[in-house]
């Protein structure tokens, strides 16, 4: 019987994993480990036919050769993002990478809208004051309605299109930029010709583009300089699409009034790990956490029951497909 090894197993994945294992008990054996694919695990692959991992930091390209030497030519990544892989290095050894391009776009879209509401209505400040029994009102708590805002959506794929529909449902005017406009969104939003045009007159910029090399720092200081003072920036996409240092400078000069960061360009060592009572080694992340105008969340926009189920089922289906047919549906380096 063929054998699949699942690395980086989290507690929240256990129930979904057991369900998949039970459904395929007659087809394949599944081995689970909380450890990552590195170190001694690279020496214990001789009886493994396929692997799925949930890597967030850079994947050592030297490992591709080890996998190939053990007859493993496919990695199923349990996320949409695959920027942690050196795809040219994978291609050199014949390793295919697959991802989960859509595990719950509605979850991420709803989270982006939720964070917008929190910034617009200053709920983090209200909650902080109430926690210390300060029930006074002041201008720092005075908010706005979503329907009074102009929303800019960068990227109108599976997630961005849903975010646009939700904002439209609130009565907001929604604008968008995408290299491939979606005609089905007519009546929901208005497309503009460039990112520069998008940021010129909006109140909220929400990011929904992939973290590809082409998109690195696509939202940078030059782009943010085009905005009118008071812009809110929401990043529930990938950390690399937003230049964090530029964001901080624009927060300091008032161009950006607030930001909600669910993905951070150097999040790997921190997000999903407990750093309680330990000093952070990343001074930029420490600074963001200390700011009153920034909301930080640890890459949880997707984190719903539906998403976790799909993030388990789809990669395991991909691994089984590759073992049996040497192909999978969501390979990113064909």
CA Rg value for the chain: 22
Q: How do 50-53 and 231-235 pair as beta strands?
A: unpaired
Q: Which residue has the tokens 């694919």?
A: 37
CB of 63 closer than 8 Å to CB of 42: yes
**Of 78, 299, 318, 330, which one is the catalytic site residue?**
299
User: How deeply is 5 buried, as exposed, middle or buried, from its count of CB atoms within 10 A (0-12, 13-18, 19+)?
Assistant: buried
Name the 3-class secondary structure at 156: coil
Among candidate residues 13, 110, 267, 318, the one labeled active-site is 267
Q: What is the 3-state secondary structure (H, E, C) of 258-304?
A: EEEECCCCCCCCCCCCCCCCCCCCCHHHHHHHHCCCEEECCCCCCCC
**Chain length of the chain:** 334
> Is there a catalytic annotation at residue 115?
no
* Ranges assigned E (strand) in the chain: 2-6, 28-32, 50-53, 74-77, 96-98, 150-154, 173-177, 190-191, 204-207, 231-235, 256-261, 294-296
The burial of 89, by beta-carbon neighbours within 10 Å (0-12 exposed, 13-18 middle, 19 or more buried), is given as: middle
Q: For the chain, how long is the longest CA-to-CA vector?
A: 67
End-to-end CA distance of the chain: 27
Catalytic, 299? Answer yes
Which helix (DSSP H) or strand (DSSP E) does residue 210 occupy?
A: none
Burial class (CB in 10 A: 0-12, 13-18, 19+), 252: exposed
Determine which one of 115, 122, 162, 238 is catalytic.
238
3-state secondary structure of 233: strand
Q: Is 267 a catalytic residue?
A: yes
Catalytic center residues: 238, 267, 299
């Amino acid at each position: 019987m063929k054998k699949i090894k699942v690395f980086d197993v989290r507690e929240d994945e256990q129930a979904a994993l057991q369900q998949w294992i039970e459904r395929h008990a007659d087809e394949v054996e599944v081995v689970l480990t909380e450890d990552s694919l590195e170190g001694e695990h690279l020496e214990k692959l001789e009886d493994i036919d396929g692997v799925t991992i949930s890597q967030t930091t850079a994947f050592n390209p030297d490992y591709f050769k080890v996998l190939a030497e053990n007859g493993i030519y496919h990695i199923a990544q349990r996320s949409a993002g695959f920027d942690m892989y050196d795809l040219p290095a994978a291609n050199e050894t014949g390793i295919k990478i697959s991802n989960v391009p859509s595990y719950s776009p509605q979850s991420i879209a709803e989270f982006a809208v939720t964070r917008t509401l929190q910034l617009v209505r200053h709920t983090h400040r209200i909650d902080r004051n109430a926690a210390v029994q300060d029930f006074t009102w002041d201008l720092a708590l005075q908010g706005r309605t979503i329907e009074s805002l102009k929303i800019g959506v960068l990227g109108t794929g599976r997630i961005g299109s849903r975010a646009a529909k939700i904002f439209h449902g609130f009565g907001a005017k929604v604008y968008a930029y995408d290299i491939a406009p979606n005609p089905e969104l007519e009546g929901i939003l208005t497309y503009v010709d460039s990112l520069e045009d998008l940021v010129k007159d909006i109140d909220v910029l929400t990011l929904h583009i992939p973290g590809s090399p082409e998109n690195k720092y696509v939202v940078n200081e030059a782009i943010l300089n085009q905005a009118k003072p008071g812009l809110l920036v929401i990043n529930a996409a990938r950390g690399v699409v937003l230049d964090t240092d530029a964001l901080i400078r624009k927060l300091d000069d008032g161009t950006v009034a607030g930001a909600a960061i669910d993905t951070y360009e150097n999040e790997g060592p921190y997000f999903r790990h407990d750093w309680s009572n330990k000093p952070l080694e990343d001074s930029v992340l420490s600074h963001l956490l200390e700011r009153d105008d920034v909301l930080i969340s640890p890459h949880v926009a997707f984190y719903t029951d539906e998403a976790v189920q799909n993030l388990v089922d789809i990669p395991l289906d991909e691994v089984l497909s590759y073992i049996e047919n040497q192909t999978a549906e969501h390979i990113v380096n064909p």
